[in-house]
Amino acid sequence: MASSASSRSKSQKTAGPAVFTRDQELHAYREMLQIRRFEEKAGQMYGMGLIGGFCHLYIGQEAVVVGMQMASIEGDQIITGYRDHGHMLVCGMDPKGVMAELTGRRGGLSKGKGGSMHMFSKEKHFYGGHGIVGAQVSLGTGLAFANHYRGNGNASMIYFGDGAANQGQVYESFNMAELWKLPAVYIIENNRYAMGTSVSRASAQSDFSKRGLSFNIPGEQVDGMDVRAVREAGLKALTWCREGKGPYILEMQTYRYRGHSMSDPAKYRSKEEVQKMREEHDPIEQVRARLLREKFATEDELKAIDAKVRAIVAEAAEFATNDPEPDPSELWTDILV
Amino acid sequence: MAVNVLMPALSPTMEQGKLAKWVKKVGDTVKSGDVLAEIETDKALMEVEAVDEGVLAAILIPDGTENVAVNTPIAVIAAEGESADAAPVTASKPVSPELATQKPAAAVSASDAPTAPVVAIAAASDVPPGTPMVAMTVREALRDAMAEEMRADEDVFIMGEEVAEYQGAYKITQGLLQEFGARRVIDTPITEHGFAGIGVGAAMTGLKPIVEFMTFNFAMQAIDQIINSAAKTLYMSGGQMGCPIVFRGPNGAAARVAAQHSQDYAAWYSQIPGLKVVAPYTAADFKGLMKSAIRDPNPIIFLENEILYGQTFDVPQMDDYTVPIGKARIHRTGKDVTLVSWSIGMTYAIKAADELAKEGIEAEIIDLRTIRPMDVDTIIASVQKTGRCVTVEEGWPQSGVGAEIAARVMERAFDWLDAPVVRVTGKDVPMPYAANLEKLALPNVGEVIQAAKAVLYR
Ligand SMILES: Cc1ncc(C[n+]2csc(CCOP(=O)(O)OP(=O)(O)O)c2C)c(N)n1
Ligand SMILES: [Mg+2]
CATH number where B383 lies? 3.40.50.920
Residues B209, B68 share a domain: no
Q: Which conformational region is residue A181 in: left (phi greater than 0), alpha (psi within -120 to 50 degrees), or beta?
A: left
Query: A residues 196-255 near B, CB within 8 Å?
Result: 196-197, 201-203
State residue A30's pLDDT score. Answer: 98
State residue B81's pLDDT score. Answer: 67
Whether B228 has a pLDDT exceeding 60, the answer reads: yes
Tell me if B15 is assigned to some domain: yes
Which atom in ligand 1 lies closest to the alpha carbon of residue A195? 11
Residue spans of beta strands (DSSP E) within A175-247: 184-190, 193-194, 197-198, 219-223
Residue percentage of chain B with pLDDT more than 70: 89
Span of A66-80, A196-210, B124-138, B168-182 with lowest mean pLDDT: B124-138
Which atom in ligand 1 lies closest to the alpha carbon of residue A161? 15
> In this predicted model, which residue has the larger pLDDT, B38 or A147?
A147
In chain A, the residue whose alpha carbon lies closest to the alpha carbon of B31 is A40
Tell me if B179 is assigned to some domain: yes
Instruction: Count Cβ atoms within 10 A of the Cβ of residue B79 and give its class: 0-12 exposed, 13-18 middle, 19 or more buried.
Output: middle
At residue B49 the predicted structure's pLDDT band, cuts being 50, 70 and 90, is: confident
For ligand 2, an ion, list residues with CB under 5 A: A 161-162, 191, 194
- Chain B contact for A280, CB < 8 A? no
State residue B44's pLDDT score. Answer: 74
Of the residues A33, A34, A48, A333, the best mutation for testing chain B's interface (the one with the most B CB atoms within 10 Å of its CB) is A48
Which atom in ligand 1 lies closest to the alpha carbon of residue B220? 1
Measured in Å, residue B457 CA sits from the centre of ligand 2 at 57
Task: Answer yes or no: is the C-beta of A84 below 6 A from any ligand 1 atom.
Answer: no
In chain A, the residue whose alpha carbon lies closest to the alpha carbon of B32 is A40
Residues B418, B284 share a domain: no
Cβ–Cβ below 8 Å for B221 and A167: yes
Of the residues A99, A119, A132, the best mutation for testing chain B's interface (the one with the most B CB atoms within 10 Å of its CB) is A132
Residues B248, B389 share a domain: no
Amino acid at B131: T
Count of domains for chain B: 3
Cβ–Cβ below 8 Å for B165 and A201: yes
Of B32, B161, B256, Cβ closest to residue A53: B256
Residue B299 and residue B275 in contact, taking contact as beta carbons nearer than 8 Å: yes
Measured in Å, residue A195 CA sits from the centre of ligand 1 at 7
State residue B434's pLDDT score. Answer: 98
- Chain B contact for A110, CB < 8 A? yes
Residues B385, B354 share a domain: yes
Mean pLDDT of chain B: 90
Q: How many CA atoms lie within 13 A of B26 on its CB side?
A: 14
CATH for B221? 3.40.50.970
Residues B265, B183 share a domain: yes
CATH for B30? 2.40.50.100
CA atoms of B83 and B87, how far apart (whole Å): 8
Q: What is the pLDDT of residues B305-327, one digit of tens each?
A: 999 999 999 999 999 999 999 99
Span of A5-14, A129-138, B186-195, B404-413 with lowest mean pLDDT: A5-14
Closest CA to ligand 1's atom 21: A161
Span of A7-11, A252-256, B44-48, B67-71 with lowest mean pLDDT: A7-11
Q: Could you tell me the sign of the dihedral formed by the alpha carbons of B387, B390, B391, B392, in that order?
A: negative
Task: Answer yes or no: is the C-beta of A69 below 6 A from any ligand 1 atom.
Answer: no
Please, what are the averages of pLDDT over each run of 10 residues along chain A (337 residues)? 41 70 98 98 96 96 98 98 98 98 98 97 96 97 97 98 98 98 98 97 97 98 98 98 98 97 91 95 98 98 98 98 98 96
Residues B129, B74 share a domain: no
Closest CA to ligand 1's atom 7: A133
Tell me if B22 is assigned to some domain: yes
Residue A201 and residue B187 in contact, taking contact as beta carbons nearer than 8 Å: yes
Which atom in ligand 1 lies closest to the alpha carbon of residue A191? 20
For the segment(s) A20-320, the CATH number from 3.30.70.20, 3.40.50.300, 3.40.50.970, 3.40.50.720 is: 3.40.50.970
At which of B35, B68, B90 does a domain end? B90
Closest CA to ligand 1's atom 20: A194
CA atoms of A40 and B52, how far apart (whole Å): 9
Residues B391, B357 share a domain: yes
Residue A8: Cβ within 10 Å count: 14
Task: Answer yes or no: is the C-beta of B202 below 6 A from any ligand 1 atom.
Answer: no
Residues B158, B272 share a domain: yes
Tell me which residue range forms the domain holding B185.
Answer: 123-316
Mean pLDDT of B376-399: 98
Predicted ipTM of the assembly: 0.90
Whether B257 has a pLDDT exceeding 90, the answer reads: yes
Residue B41 and residue B54 in contact, taking contact as beta carbons nearer than 8 Å: no
Q: Where are the domains of chain A?
A: 20-320
Mutating to test ligand 1, I would choose from B170, B190, B223 the residue with most ligand atoms within 8 A of its C-beta, which is B190
Phi, psi (rounded to 5 degrees) for B455: -75, -15
Task: Answer yes or no: is the C-beta of B192 below 6 A from any ligand 1 atom.
Answer: yes
Q: Could you tell me the sign of the dihedral formed by the alpha carbons of B286, B289, B292, B298, in that order?
A: negative
State residue A184's pLDDT score. Answer: 98
Residue A49 and residue A121 in contact, taking contact as beta carbons nearer than 8 Å: no
- Helices A62-71 and A22-47, axial angle in degrees (round to 10): 140
State residue B17's pLDDT score. Answer: 86
State residue B42's pLDDT score. Answer: 65
State residue B16's pLDDT score. Answer: 84
> In this predicted model, which residue has the larger pLDDT, B75 or B88?
B75
State residue A197's pLDDT score. Answer: 97
Mean pLDDT of B135-147: 98
CA atoms of A128 and A119, how far apart (whole Å): 5
Mean pLDDT of B144-167: 98
Residues B280, B338 share a domain: no
Residue A320 and residue A105 in contact, taking contact as beta carbons nearer than 8 Å: yes
Mean pLDDT of B140-145: 98
Residue B11 and residue B169 in contact, taking contact as beta carbons nearer than 8 Å: no
Q: What is the pLDDT of residues B362-381, one digit of tens each?
A: 999 999 999 999 999 999 99
State residue B43's pLDDT score. Answer: 66
Q: How far is CA B136 from CA B119, B183, B287, in A?
A: 11, 28, 10
Of the residues B52, B437, B439, the best mutation for testing chain A's interface (the one with the most A CB atoms within 10 Å of its CB) is B437
State residue B71's pLDDT score. Answer: 87
Tell me if B47 is assigned to some domain: yes
Task: Answer yes or no: is the C-beta of A164 below 6 A from any ligand 1 atom.
Answer: yes
Residues B350, B284 share a domain: no
Closest CA to ligand 1's atom 17: A161
State residue B125's pLDDT score. Answer: 56
Whether B75 has a pLDDT exceeding 50, the answer reads: yes
Question: Which residues of B carry out catalysis?
Answer: 192, 261
Residues B15, B139 share a domain: no
